[in-house]
Amino acid sequence: MYHFFVKQEQIDGGAAMVTITGPDVNHIRNVLRMKPGEEILVGNGTDTDYLCRIEQIAPDQVTAGILSRAESTELPARIYLFQGLPKSGKMELIIQKAVELGVYQVIPVNTSRTVVKLDAKKEEARVRRWNAIAESAAKQSGRVLVPEVTPVMEFNEALAYAAELDVKMIPYENARGMSSARQAVESVKRGMSAGVLIGPEGGFEEAEVSAARKAGFAPVSLGRRILRTETAGIAVLSILMYQLEAYSAQAGPGSAAAR
């Protein structure tokens, strides 16, 4: 089922109607060639999806009647991915896959070994592009929430931003054994928040790892192989998704996603 996002003011709860405007109108009319009577999912991008039936398709807007609230597809915990800026288009792949796996927010981070340096104008354009990719991935994967990609943060700024998170981990090639990773993943429960800090190509400086540890990030191993930056975050998020989805299944139907 096709999935679209609108602003909260485009949802009229009293009339049980949704109005879709902007580029999605062209997509519905001319690309998908949808007709009145077809059903779609419409979300407010933050906490609710609605099952809707298209009622009218006009050149500048699509109106749809709300049939019911849709079941949440969100993980029962908020996962924050702190990603050291990689080269070329790797960040776009990371954002796309992180959103598919259930991340709550992606925070690009400048580190000592970051190769990519963005001036203010390029950064603003890049962040807009990254958020568009996040929205597209959220639509494709049936997310209720459109995860935000924040502006680029400096390393120490990112550590401060993560201060209040419940669980924090930093995959690190010099960490030994899998027990620390298992303990960190299993400690993330429903309603909690967790941060995953991933280095860029070349990894972290020792001083950065030391600063992260002082800020509460636990070094964890992802096995005996060294993973690329675009693989490491996806690997951790996959493990967390499995753990949290299994937890949700055990908790039963009432296990709504954290907000």
d(CA 200, CA 181): 20
Hey, what are 87's tokens?
Answer: 């080269």
d(CA 108, CA 198): 10
Q: List the domains of the chain with CATH numbers.
A: 3-69 (2.40.240.20), 78-251 (3.40.1280.10)
AA letter at 142: G
What is the pLDDT at residue 179?
80
Unique residue bearing structure tokens 């907000």:
259
By C-alpha distance, which of 159, 102, 103, 108 is closest to 129?
108
Q: Residue 242: CB partners within 8 Å, gap ≥ 6?
A: none
AA letter at 31: V
How many CA atoms are closer than 13 Å to the CA of 38, on its beta-carbon side? 13
What is the pLDDT at residue 47?
75
Under DSSP, the state recorded for 29 is I
What is the pLDDT at residue 11?
92
d(CA 49, CA 26): 21
CB contact at 8 A, 104 and 79: yes
Centroid of chain to Cα 154: 20
What is the pLDDT at residue 149?
97
What is the pLDDT at residue 178?
73
CB contact at 8 A, 99 and 141: yes
Hey, what are 32's tokens?
Answer: 């998908």
What is the pLDDT at residue 70?
81
What is the pLDDT at residue 249?
56
For the chain, which residues score pLDDT lower than 70? 174-177, 247-259
pTM over 0.85: no
What is the pLDDT at residue 73?
82
